[in-house]
Amino acid sequence: MSTEIKLSVSGQQREIILDGTLLKDFIASEIKTRLPSIMDKQGHLKVQIRPGQWTINVTGFYPGQLTSVTLPAFKKPWPVNEIWVLDQQPHLRRINVIDKISIDANQTQLPKKWQTFPAFQMQGNEVMSFNVVKRGDPEPEPDQLNLRKKIWLDFDGLGFTINDKITGKLSRQWRLNASENMKLGQVTLDGKPQYITEDENQQQGVEVRHGALNLSADSQMNAVNREFPASGWNMDFNSVDATLYLPAGWKLFSLSGANADSTWIRQWTLLDLFIVLITAIAGYKLWGLKWGMIGLLAFTLTWHQSGAPQFIWLNLIVAIALFRALPEGRFASLVKSYRLVSTIALVLIVLPFVVDQARLALYPQLEFYNSAIDTTYSPVSGAIFAEQADENDMVMEKSRPRKNYGALSYSDRVPMSVKPKVKEVSHVDPDAMIQTGPGLPIWTLNQYAINWDGPVRKDQLIKMTLIPPMMNAFLNLLRIIFVLLMVWRLLDIAFYTPLIKSMQAKGDGNALVSKSSTASASILIVIVTGMLCLTPTLSNAASYATFPDKTLLEELKNDQLKPTQCLPNCASIESISIALSEQELTMSLRVHAQENVSIPLPVPLKHWMPETLQVDDSASASFFRHKDANLWLHILKGTHTVKITGRVDYLTQLQIAFPLKPHLIYLNVTGWSSEGMDQDVRKITALNFLRLSKDSASSVTRTGIQSEIPVYTELSRTFELGLEWHMINRIKGLSGTAYPVILRIPLIPGESVITENVKVMDNHVVVTLSHRNQTLQWRSSLSKELAFSSNNKNSDKGSTGQIKLKAIDSNQIIERWRLNASTIWHIDHKGIPVIYHQREGKRWQPQWQPWPGEEVVIMISRPHGVKGNTITIDSSNLTLGPGVQITSAKLDFNLRSSLGGQHIIHLPEQAELKKVKINNRNMPIRNTSEGLSLPVLPGKQKISIEWYEVRGISGFFTSSLVSLGSDSVNHSVKINPGYNRWVLFVSGPAMGPAVLFWGVFGIILLISYGLGRIRGTPLKTWHWILLWIGLSASAPWAVVVIAGCILALKVRNEQDSAAMSALKFNVFQIALVLLILLSLAALTASIQQGLLGTPDMQITGNGSSAYQLNWFSDRMNEVLPQATLISVPVYIYRLMMLIWSIWLAFALIKWAQWGWSALTREEYWRHVPKRKFKKDVKRNAHKKSGQQNKNDLSLDEDEIEIK
């Protein structure tokens, strides 16, 4: 309670008594005024007033709980009415005032800072009652958390790997548990690994102590059941976003419980459905139900596929329908032309789409073209398993500079007021094996963004339907079948019959029919073939600084002004003798000084004034009073005797504090009782004396004794529960004047004081506060065995113990309790509510402020650790360079470990170790029969191993068999076969290279069979096969040119040149000659490439080529997967090309004869004597008079010759 009294005084100086400064049962703690004043034990304030306006502030406290406050009717000059304001201090409690209406504080004369509180007008004998609505903060605000997830499906589809990043603010839940179907592998908090444990409900999780949360968790989950909690944690989140990564060949069909716009189902819009249905219905109306269903399946399966035909279907169907409905005429001719153009466009779109679908069915990794998965890895520098420092560590109080009195031997620190550096709370058990997790994939192939609208509850589920690679391959096959069926139906061969008959009617006959069919076949073959085969140095000037520089000057200044080296031990009190009788106090001190210094004397000036002070029997000593209310003595260097005497007959109690501790204390007391004496002088901070006889001082007590304001103190206990349990006790004088005061602080069960020079008596710590705002601190240890013995258990993991706290039943002490628990403990509590859950550094440290006698029980359990990896290999890369007889091998991998030790890996038996590097430093390590033992330190390491194998490249080459000694993720194998090998086949992990030549070879056989069926050329089926094989492996682009040339010569051989004009005939002949020359150039280039170059096997996938083959595996056991390469020397290819070239040379002689005869059939060039052209002119001009102009001509059929 704070009372502000405003006095307006006139008249003479006088003394008045104010009896309303304190309410009933309140105890004064402080009086602030410029007027002389004193308060007696009954709470009456005596003030010596003088004219003027004065303000008196009286602060008091009530030692218990209040539900009502009564304003008595005080005597004058106390006013009849008072204005009260109420500061609820909501962190401690929230109260409601009963049946009392507040007034506008701004309309009163209240102090400015009081006007922010509710004000009430009170009259004499009026009662203010209130009830406590809430005490402390038993239900803090809900947690404000956000979750960002990354979910990877394993390549085999059997499991998910999940990375969760949780950010936000924790207020309630200080243990984060994962859901039952998740297996936590690694958890980091602010980048520091945490120990994963299991609570009593067998739920995996981590203890958290930071309110500002930045957590990352790696976990795994079984993917057989694809319905699982959305968040994966037993808590609610404000927002959740996720990214799903699927391997090659996998697709997300549907997702329920969340939003994902890129699923197959969500891609469909109403417009898409409308167009598909309209197109299918149109097909049904044109060709019947069977073709309507085939069209519906074709359109549905391909509508959202990349490169698939979409609107072209509807265009062509509409053209067919219009052509059927329209009568013959000009508009029908336009529709016919539009239909032909749409047909060509459909063929151009369908052919690459069909090829792409066929390749994806066989090689799903080609979905990402030839992009390689990057397996590079950059380790973070520095140790990552260092223990986290406690934010609340105490630091040594800095010495304050001395001034005005020269070199002093006495420090401002008093006994036990030193704040020693608090030992860090150990957050990690050194015996615990911190989990390093399963390792996260680094690939990002098929990405799907998933999000939720609004907050997500912990029991909210999501369900996903995935399409596996085998099903995708089957769907690709269905797409090819249904699309080709629809193309065959839409081509409608009968459509071209009228065109053929029209050409025959104009005299072109069979030649034109043959020409038309041959041209169509040529266009089709050329298109298919093309689709298949064409796949500063800066210098700084020297700078000169003046001498001496500022740093040097500062050092010289500090050196000159530094205090004497003996401080703070320049003087000491060897002994002190105290003789206390009923009438007089005599103190004799023996002092030693190394320098001329000032020392504080143990004289309580506030209660007792000495009458004589002598130094070495001389009264001419230099005494002075410092601002700390101590009496100081300036002495010279040497040994001195100080004697102090004075009367004590008017005192009933006396307290003597020792700001400078003596080495010996001699005590001679008569008529007084003493308290605070100890055999160990270092533990004595003050002595308290109480008079035994009351009569001897009765005459002077009435006139000389003054009523002191009781001392009010604050005791703070901080419990630090780490690997070792400690408690920091700190007591501070808040108010009062009765200093020095001796306090007895009871120890809690299991507490042992470990700070030196602290007096402990009868399970109490005895401390002395010398002045207001003085702080004393000591450190204690707590017995874990005693805490856990209450449940007949020990402090092993999984056990439960408790600490019982009970507030001291005293009116002089207010207590505050604070808990600082390590994450190795799980904490529950019961009793009074917590007032603060987190304050300093946003760290969870519950704080209580009890009333006297109230209790809190802290329940402590130690969760079991979860078994997990202590070594994780995040990525590995095996590179092989096979030579003729020796193969060079290099293995790079990145390892994370939570423990130090040796890690053994196994190399191939025939391996000859070259060098080993750990973090780019060569290590003297040899390979033994037991394996290669690598020294591992806690943290991240980058390891590189190089060796030779006594084997070279062969027809059947397999990558090295290596065991990393631990499960790993993100493994890549690279084989560099060199430029002298012809790669035929490869095998290994699914995410690897594909040899596309063999697929092309199968198409070549089919196309060659079709070309061989075309009559009129000298090439049979086996000729086409040999020609195409030779060209496709050396110069694929030449296939299109040569095939086009041969088919063009066939057309020339079968056409009727007489029906062509001279100009068209000559242009056609020139084009044929150019095509022949281009074909010869293509053949020459292909022969040169085949004889001197290397074959093009169209190797692609995961960044592979003919000279570097790359495989990737997402997750594997100790033994790394192997890759196989089947190849032959490149000279075999060149020898085959030589034989093919010889065959081609002989074949070309025959083909050339046929080609020449076709080129020169009937004639090879036609003379053009003159140029003719037809001009159609229609003129319709009308004269105004109605007469026809004589110049109007009708020349529709006239032929004009220009010579």
Q: Which residues pair with 241 in a beta bridge?
A: 148, 451
Provide the pLDDT confidence category of residue 374 given band limits of 50, 70 and 90. Answer: low
Q: What is the structure's pLDDT at 717? A: 94
**Structural contact between residues 1028 and 1149, judged by C-beta atoms closer than 8 angstroms:** no
DSSP H helices, 1093-1129, are: none
Give the tens place of pLDDT for each residue, 3-43: 998 889 998 888 888 888 888 888 888 888 888 888 877 77
Starting at the edge strand found earlier in the chain, the sheet holding 144-153 runs 192-194, 182-189, 212-222, 159-169, 144-153, 239-246, 446-451
Q: What is the structure's pLDDT at 163? A: 95
Say which range, 101-105, 178-182, 298-302, 1165-1169, has the weakest mean pLDDT. Answer: 1165-1169
Nearest-angstrom CA–CA distance, 9 and 164: 73
Q: Is the pLDDT of residue 711 over 90?
A: no
Say which range, 137-146, 660-669, 1169-1178, has the weakest mean pLDDT. Answer: 1169-1178
Provide the pLDDT confidence category of residue 1170 given band limits of 50, 70 and 90. Answer: low
Q: What is the structure's pLDDT at 522? A: 43
Q: Which residues pair with 98 in a beta bridge?
A: 129
Task: Give the closest residue to 832 by CA, choosing from 852, 813, 814.
Answer: 852
* One-letter identity of residue 1060: M
Give the tens place of pLDDT for each residue, 182-226: 999 999 998 888 899 988 888 999 999 888 899 999 999 998 888
Nearest-angstrom CA–CA distance, 694 and 705: 13
354, with CB counted inside 10 A (0-12, 13-18, 19+), is buried
Give the tens place of pLDDT for each residue, 550-560: 666 677 666 66
Q: Which domains does the chain have, with CATH numbers?
A: 2-135 (no CATH), 144-265+434-469 (2.60.40.1730), 270-372+471-533 (no CATH), 394-427+684-869 (no CATH), 582-683 (no CATH), 873-987 (2.60.40.1730), 996-1097+1130-1159 (no CATH)
Q: Please, how many CA atoms are within 13 Å of residue 1014, restricted to the half-sphere of its CB? A: 26
Averaged confidence pLDDT in the chain:
81
Give the tens place of pLDDT for each residue, 949-999: 999 899 999 999 999 999 999 999 999 998 889 999 999 998 999 998 888
Quote the tokens at residue 692: 């035994």
Q: What mean pLDDT is predicted for residues 1128-1145? A: 88
Which has the higher per-residue pLDDT, 553 or 1181? Answer: 553
Give the tens place of pLDDT for each residue, 103-134: 888 888 888 888 888 999 888 888 899 888 88
Most confident of 178-192, 482-496, 1040-1054: 178-192
Name, in order, each residue with C-beta under 8 angstroms of 559's C-beta and a sequence gap of 6 or more: none
Give the tens place of pLDDT for each residue, 767-804: 888 888 889 999 999 988 887 875 544 444 456 788 99
Say which range, 113-117, 714-718, 1035-1039, 1126-1130, has the weakest mean pLDDT. Answer: 1035-1039
Most confident of 308-312, 1091-1095, 1189-1193: 308-312
Q: Is the pLDDT of residue 621 over 80?
A: no
- β pairing state of 612-615 and 175-177: unpaired
Q: Is the pLDDT of residue 540 over 50?
A: no
Nearest-angstrom CA–CA distance, 974 and 985: 15
Provide the pLDDT confidence category of residue 817 given band limits of 50, 70 and 90. Answer: very high
Which has the higher per-residue pLDDT, 363 or 42? Answer: 363
Q: Which residues pair with 904 in a beta bridge?
A: 933
Q: Which residues pair with 54 in a beta bridge?
A: 7
1194, with CB counted inside 10 A (0-12, 13-18, 19+), is exposed
Task: Give the closest residue to 528 by CA, choosing from 135, 1043, 100.
Answer: 1043
**Structural contact between residues 573 and 591, judged by C-beta atoms closer than 8 angstroms:** yes
Q: What is the structure's pLDDT at 1091? A: 77
The interaxial angle of helices 1037-1054 and 1062-1092, nearest 10 deg, is 150
Q: What is the structure's pLDDT at 412? A: 36
Q: What mean pLDDT is predicted for residues 40-59? A: 87
Torsion of CA 476, 482, 484, 487, to 10 degrees: -140
Q: Is the pLDDT of residue 138 over 90?
A: no
pTM: 0.74
CA-to-CA separations, 95 to 69, 87, 113, 128, 138, in angstroms, rounded = 13, 10, 21, 12, 15
Q: What is the structure's pLDDT at 521? A: 41
Q: What mean pLDDT is predicted for residues 1072-1100? A: 84
Give the tens place of pLDDT for each residue, 1057-1066: 777 777 888 8
Q: Please, how many CA atoms are within 13 Å of residue 512, restricted to the half-sphere of its CB? A: 15
Provide the pLDDT confidence category of residue 1124 given band limits of 50, 70 and 90. Answer: very high
| Category of 1050 on φ-ψ map: left (φ > 0), alpha (ψ -120 to 50) or beta | alpha
Q: What mean pLDDT is predicted for residues 529-541? A: 40
Percent of the chain with pLDDT over 90: 29
Q: What mean pLDDT is predicted for residues 309-318? A: 90
Q: What is the structure's pLDDT at 969? A: 93
Q: What is the structure's pLDDT at 1057? A: 73
Q: What is the structure's pLDDT at 1094? A: 79
Q: Which residues pair with 701 in a beta bridge?
A: none
Provide the pLDDT confidence category of residue 627 given band limits of 50, 70 and 90. Answer: low
Q: What is the structure's pLDDT at 538? A: 35
